[in-house]
Amino acid sequence: MEVVNLTGSSPERGHDPDALWLVGCGSMAGAMVQGWRTAGLDLSRTAAIRPSGTPVEGVRTVRSIGEAGVAPGVALLGFKPQKLGDIAPELSAAIDERTIVLSMLAGVELATLRARLPSAAAIVRIMPNLPVSIRRGVVAVFGEELEAASRNRVAALLVPLGFVAWCDREAELGAVGSVAGAGPAYVARFIAALAAAGEGKGLNPQLALTVARETVLGTGWLAAATGEPMDEIVRGVKSPNGTTEAGLAVLDAELPDLVERTIAAAGRRAAELAAEARGIDSPVTPL
CA 63 to chain centre: 23
Q: 9 in a domain, yes or no?
A: no
Q: 6 in a domain, yes or no?
A: no
**What's the pTM value of the predicted model, to 2 decimals?**
0.85
Are β-strands 60-62 and 71-77 bridged in parallel, bridged antiparallel, or unpaired? unpaired
Question: What CATH number is associated with residue 32?
Answer: 3.40.50.720
**pLDDT tens by residue, 57-71:** 999 999 999 999 999
Contact by Cβ (8 Å): 102, 74: yes
Query: Domain of 145?
Result: 15-177
Residue 91: predicted pLDDT: 97
Residue 13: predicted pLDDT: 59
End-of-domain residue from the set 128, 161, 177: 177
**pLDDT tens by residue, 217-241:** 999 999 999 999 999 999 999 999 9
How does the average pLDDT of the chain come out, rounded?
Answer: 91
182-186 average pLDDT score: 94
- Same-domain pairing of 160 and 188: no
User: How much of the chain is helix, strand and coil, in % rounded to 5?
Assistant: 55, 15, 30
End-of-domain residue from the set 177, 205, 223: 177
**pLDDT tens by residue, 5-59:** 443 434 445 999 999 999 999 999 999 999 999 999 999 999 999 999 999 999 9
Question: What CATH number is associated with residue 241?
Answer: 1.10.3730.10
- Same-domain pairing of 80 and 203: no
Which helix (H) or strand (E) covers residue 243, if one does? helix 243-278
Residue 283: predicted pLDDT: 39
Count of structural domains, the chain: 2
- Same-domain pairing of 81 and 61: yes
- Furthest C-alpha separation in the chain: 73
Alpha carbon distance 126, 274 (integer Å): 15
Cβ count near 35 (within 10 Å): 22
- Same-domain pairing of 110 and 225: no
